[in-house]
């Protein structure tokens, strides 16, 4: 992947109409439709304000939820438009369609310093199909394409990659920040680099594990995915989650790490219980000797200390995936310990992935991390070293 892409600051946007792809896929209350976490909208504001302050007319667009090509009023972008109006302090014109007469009328009459919002892109099946005619219709309303939707750049959709065939295309400020921080991990990390991977499945992180082993000095593995590695080494894991079809892969990665001189740290103790429930009794047991009726639900205190010691000696830390089922207080201590250790260490600290980022925010530590990525699947694929179509399509700097 070539990371040296043009940004909004490299081009003249004055007097131009800008099609701005944002990630406004915000969580909402399923009964009231109220936006419960405005974080993704807030994250887009610097780019929007930059464009408006520099004389552009902004045509913002995004998807919301999974309407699967069907018009669903409950997934309308109208609440997002109302939130944008409140945050920007200026009216946001809301189109009643995407490329239809309402959108075109608003786009045709939009003047510099004004902003409009298209309806949900995924109301059209052509969006996810990256239909070239739909992409050209979107592009025809604007002079420049700017993308700030890092969470979507791993998808080759009409609004993330297709429109770049028809317009000069650059990154927004948020996307540029993502590229800079994640790119530095792959290209020029401050050493030692520690990678921390958690979550439930090894299969979600196959390419990431292999690629990071070639960059990192240490790899800490927690969460449910650790039990696949532990069982692959002959350990007893009781009823803990395990992907038996990935045990050969786990053995390959352990062998690769040994060959490259990278230390892989697996949990040595585990907080286990008979079931996943808020008030269930739990105990700390060896990670490789868990009774048949128990399941591992968090890393134990011995493991937490070992992980924190490695983190404290690091200059760069990248973290993706919680250490346990942190949504339950009884199984949140491992994730909290790791989060605090990173926050207390003088290092470049990057969190990628929805669950680990949510944990950092829930613990009130977000201001003590260098960067919290806005992309889940996108950050994983970036760290795999994959070419992401929504970044590859952007214009290169000279």
In b/e form, how buried is each residue of 182-205, taking b as 16+ CB within 10 angstroms? bbbbbeebeeebbbbbbbbbbebb
How far apart CA 77 and CA 79 sit, in angstroms, is 6
How far apart CA 166 and CA 318 sit, in angstroms, is 36
Please state, as a whole number, how many other Cβ atoms lie within 10 Å of the Cβ of residue 255.
10
How far apart CA 59 and CA 95 sit, in angstroms, is 10
**Burial label, 160 (beta-carbon count in 10 A; 0-12, 13-18, 19+):** buried
**Burial label, 210 (beta-carbon count in 10 A; 0-12, 13-18, 19+):** middle
In b/e form, how buried is each residue of 294-329, taking b as 16+ CB within 10 angstroms? bbbbbbbeebbebbbebbeebebbbbbbbbbbbebe
**CB-CB contact of 51 with 18 (8 Å):** yes
Provide the H-helix boundaries in 110-156: 125-128, 132-139
- Considering just the CA atoms, what is the radius of gyration of the chain in Å? 23
First to last CA, the chain: 16
The closest alpha carbon to 285, from 302, 265, 307, belongs to 302
**CB-CB contact of 4 with 12 (8 Å):** no
**CB-CB contact of 196 with 319 (8 Å):** yes
Backbone angles phi, psi at 60, to 5 degrees: -85, 145
**Active-site residue (options: 113, 183, 235, 377):** 377
Is 354 designated active site?
Answer: yes
**Active-site residue (options: 40, 93, 205, 333):** 40
Cis preceding-peptide flag for 191 (omega within 30 of 0): no
Please state, as a whole number, how many other Cβ atoms lie within 10 Å of the Cβ of residue 129.
14
**Active-site residue (options: 340, 354, 361, 385):** 354
Is 201 designated active site?
Answer: yes
- Name the residue with tokens 């952007």: 394
**Active-site residue (options: 49, 96, 104, 201):** 201
Catalytic residues: 40, 201, 354, 377
């Amino acid at each position: 992947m070539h990371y040296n892409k043009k940004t909004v600051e490299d081009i003249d946007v004055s007097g131009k109409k800008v099609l701005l792809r944002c990630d406004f896929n915000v969580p909402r209350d399923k009964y009231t439709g109220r936006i419960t976490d405005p974080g993704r909208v807030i994250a887009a504001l610097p780019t929007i304000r930059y464009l408006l302050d520099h004389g552009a007319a902004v045509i913002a667009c995004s998807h919301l939820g999974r309407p699967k090509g069907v018009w669903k009023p409950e997934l309308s972008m109208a609440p997002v438009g109302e939130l944008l109006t409140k945050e920007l302090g200026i009216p946001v014109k809301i189109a009643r369609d995407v490329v239809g007469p309402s959108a075109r009328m608003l786009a045709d009459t939009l003047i510099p310093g004004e902003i409009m919002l298209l309806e949900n892109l995924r109301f059209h099946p052509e969006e996810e199909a990256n239909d070239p005619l739909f992409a050209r219709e979107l592009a025809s309303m604007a002079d420049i394409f700017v993308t700030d939707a890092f969470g979507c750049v791993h998808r080759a959709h009409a609004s993330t990659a297709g429109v770049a065939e028809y317009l000069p295309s650059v990154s927004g400020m948020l996307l540029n920040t993502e590229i800079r921080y994640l790119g530095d991990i792959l290209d020029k990390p401050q050493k030692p680099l520690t990678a921390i991977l958690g979550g439930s499945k090894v299969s979600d992180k196959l390419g990431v594990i292999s690629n990071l082993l070639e960059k990192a000095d240490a790899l800490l593995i927690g969460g449910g995915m650790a039990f696949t590695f532990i069982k692959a080494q002959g350990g007893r894991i009781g009823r803990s989650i395990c992907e038996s079809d990935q045990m050969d892969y786990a053995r390959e990665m352990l062998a690769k790490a040994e060959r490259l001189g990278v230390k892989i740290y697996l949990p040595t103790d585990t907080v286990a219980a008979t079931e996943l429930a808020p008030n269930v009794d739990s105990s700390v047991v060896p990670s490789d000797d868990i009774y048949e009726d128990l399941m591992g639900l968090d890393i134990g205190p011995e493991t937490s200390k070992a992980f924190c010691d490695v983190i404290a000696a690091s200059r760069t830390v990248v973290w993706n995936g919680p250490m346990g089922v942190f949504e339950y207080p009884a199984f949140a201590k491992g994730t909290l310990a790791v989060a605090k250790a990173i926050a207390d260490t003088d290092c470049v600290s990057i969190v990628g992935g929805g669950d680990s980022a949510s944990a950092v925010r829930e613990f009130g530590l977000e201001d003590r991390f260098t960067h919290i990525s806005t992309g889940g699947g996108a950050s994983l694929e970036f760290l795999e070293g994959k070419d992401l179509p929504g970044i590859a399509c952007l214009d290169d700097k000279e």
